[in-house]
């Protein structure tokens, strides 16, 4: 049985970049978060989100709550979810006080809200999230593979184990988050992930997949030569 190709979601908050990728049809969905939005200079969260959703209506778009209070988190989640049928609401796996958000996740999922549980790094967290998700409601579990790798641990076996656990929920997709390089797309495929989020700059490197390495070597040599000449270097 052939495994379906991994879905690629663009991760960012640059409006022009998001809409260009959508127009070109190069990705299968979009994700963002408050950190990316702040870096991109977004000052009005709702206006930015609604603007994007007014154009992108047929692909998944993940938007994150930004409260640490469970009641407020739930209120924000319901408001965000109402912006479109293609919206997934990103809920952190825990609060800043290390309190599990499993209860909020359970309530929202039971109400039919499509959640994207984010900042997941451990198998224990995956198990807790899996038990909290309603079997009939689509959901995404975002494991931050790049951050796992930053600690010196190979994330592929970890995410492969996570995928095995999540198979108990047919509506749940596993997402490889915090992509560090284009090769991570292959790593995510090896782990059995359904989705990988890729920043706009790394997404450009996907065009190099399958490129002849000798030709790439020649391009690199030419680049060094041309830059030295342009700088007027002499010895």
* 75 contact partners, CB below 8 Å, separation of at least 6: 67
Cα(11)–Cα(24) distance, rounded to whole angstroms?
Answer: 16
The HSE-up count of residue 208 (CA atoms within 13 Å, CB side) is: 15
Cα(110)–Cα(77) distance, rounded to whole angstroms?
Answer: 13
Q: Packing angle between helix 123-132 and helix 102-110, nearest 10 degrees? A: 30
Cα(176)–Cα(155) distance, rounded to whole angstroms?
Answer: 9
The residue annotated as part of the active site, out of 7, 79, 90, 204, is: 90
- Which helix (H) or strand (E) segment is 84 a member of? none
Active site residue 211: no
Cα(221)–Cα(162) distance, rounded to whole angstroms?
Answer: 42
CA-based nearest residue to 33, from 80, 75, 101: 80
Cα(88)–Cα(113) distance, rounded to whole angstroms?
Answer: 8
| Strand ranges for 50-193 from DSSP E | 61-64, 87-92, 115-120, 139-144, 172-177
Active site positions, annotated: 90
């Amino acid at each position: 049985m052939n495994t379906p190709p991994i879905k690629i979601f663009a991760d960012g908050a640059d409006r022009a970049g998001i809409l260009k990728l959508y127009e070109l049809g190069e990705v299968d969905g979009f994700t963002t978060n408050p950190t990316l939005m702040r870096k991109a200079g977004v000052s009005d969260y709702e206006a930015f989100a609604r603007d994007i959703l007014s154009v992108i209506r047929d692909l998944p778009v993940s938007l994150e709550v930004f409260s640490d209070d469970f009641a407020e988190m739930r209120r924000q989640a319901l408001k965000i979810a109402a912006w479109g049928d293609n919206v997934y609401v990103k809920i952190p796996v825990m609060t800043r006080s290390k309190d599990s958000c499993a209860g909020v996740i359970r309530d929202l999922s039971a109400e039919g809200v499509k959640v994207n549980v984010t900042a997941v790094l451990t198998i224990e967290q995956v198990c807790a999230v899996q038990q909290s998700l309603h079997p009939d409601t689509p959901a995404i579990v975002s494991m931050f593979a790049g951050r796992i790798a930053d600690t010196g641990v190979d994330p592929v076996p970890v995410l492969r184990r996570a995928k095995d656990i999540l198979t108990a929920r047919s509506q749940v997709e596993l997402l490889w988050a915090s992509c560090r390089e284009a090769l991570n797309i292959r790593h995510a495929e090896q782990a059995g992930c359904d989705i990988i989020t890729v920043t706009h700059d790394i997404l450009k490197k996907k065009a190099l997949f399958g490129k002849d390495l000798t030709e790439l070597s020649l391009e690199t040599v030419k680049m060094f030569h041309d830059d030295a000449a342009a700088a007027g270097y002499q010895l």
